[in-house]
Amino acid sequence: MTKTDLRERILAQLRATLAQQVNAAQLARDEAISEESRAENQYDTHSLEAGYLAEGQARQAVEIEANLKSLAALPLPDLPADAPIALGALATVRDATGGITEYFLSPCAGGLELSHDGHTVLVVTPQSPLGRQLLGRRVGDAIQLPGRKPAAASLIVTVT
């Protein structure tokens, strides 16, 4: 799978999430302005709570739209094998047990897992602990995978 394919799959996931978020915001807005939500007394806050919910969901939709734009604009250069890892890089990491994991460094959608050819590509952002470790590293550099003992340090095998 190419980096372009990975980006398209991430964008598709973000578009689906955006559609769900916009729908949820609209439902919460409709609930907030519904005649049935009108306060029956001074302690009835149902309409107010629905309004807060709609506002929060609308903010999340705006954030997802910004993520879509930043990921769509992300350059995906073919990096030489000795290049440092940067945004848009696909890094293959081998751990001390010989297990291999691929990480795609993205400006958003951290934590997303994509499967291809029988293995998983994890999306990491520069804000994550692993993303901070990967940025600027080169082939052969050791990193410490989160949740692993220091003796299980990993080596970057390839960067594309």
Two structure tokens written together for 80? 């030489």
Residue 85 lies in a domain: no
Place of tokens 């439902």: 27
Residue 152 has pLDDT above 70, yes or no: no
**Is residue 77 in some structural domain?**
no
Contact 155, 94 (CB under 8 A): yes
pLDDT at 64: 97
Q: Which residue range(s) make up the domain with 148? A: 90-159
Comparison of pLDDT for 47 and 11, the residue scoring more = 11
Residues 127 and 96 in one domain: yes
Contact, 13 vs 109, CB < 8 A?
yes
pLDDT tens digit string along 123-150? 999 999 999 999 999 888 888 877 766 6
pLDDT of residue 149: 65
Distance separating alpha carbons of residues 144 and 153, to the nearest angstrom: 5
Look at residues 72, 107, 130 and tell me which one is the last residue of a structural domain: 72
Q: Is 55 within a domain? A: yes
51 and 97, same structural domain?
no
Same domain assignment for residues 103 and 137:
yes
The domain that holds 113 is classified in CATH as 3.10.50.30
Write 75-78 long-range contacts (CB < 8 A, 24+).
76/3, 76/4, 76/7, 78/160
If asked whether residues 106 and 66 sit together in one domain, one would say no
pLDDT digits (tens, 9 = 90+) for 34-83: 888 788 888 888 888 989 999 999 999 999 999 999 999 999 988 887 88
Domain boundary among 24, 45, 72: 72
